[in-house]
Copies of this chain bind each other. A is one copy, B any other.
C-alpha cells in the first residue's frame, strides 16, 4: 500500500476510535502540504481537545521533521488544543506522546522509538479516560 494511503487508513481508524468514545474527530485535508499550521487529526469531546500528528509504521522508530512539530504546536496553541504525536507500531496499537517529551536527533528530526512510546506515551484508553482532567496544557 502506498505511504499516503497507509497513513490515511491509520488516521481513519483513529477517528472511528474517537467517535466510539463520545468524541467528534476529523482528518485534515492536505495537512502535509499546506503552508499553514495544521494537525493530521483533531478530536474533542467539548472538554478535552487534541491536535494530533499521526504516524503508522512497521519499523521500530518513527521520525518527524522539526517543521512538522512546529506547525503542530502552532496549530494547537491557537486552537486551544493539546498537541500530541500519535504513533501506531504494527501489532502494538496506538501511543500518544506529548510533543515536549520528544527527543531531538542531531539531524533536527524528532525520533520516537517503541521504547519511548511505551515509556512516555499514553494508550488510547488512557487518553480518552473520563473523570480525570488531562493535566497538561
Please give the residue numbers on chain A whose beta carbons come within 8 Å of chain B beta carbons, in ascending order: 8, 15-16, 19, 22-24, 26-31, 36-39, 42, 44-47, 49, 74-81
Contact = CB atoms under 8 A, between A and B. Distances in A.
Interface of A is mostly: mixed
Contact of A24 (B19, B24, B29, B79): B79
Copies of this chain, complex-wide, total 2
Contact of A23 (B44, B47, B78, B81): B78
B39 A78 contact: no
A74 B16 CA distance: 15
Nearest to A16: B36
A42 B39 CA distance: 12
Lowest 3 CB-CB distances: which A-B pairs, in order?
A46-B80, A24-B78, A24-B79
A27 B24 contact: no
A26 B39 contact: yes
A132 to B, nearest CB: 18
A36 B13 CA distance: 12
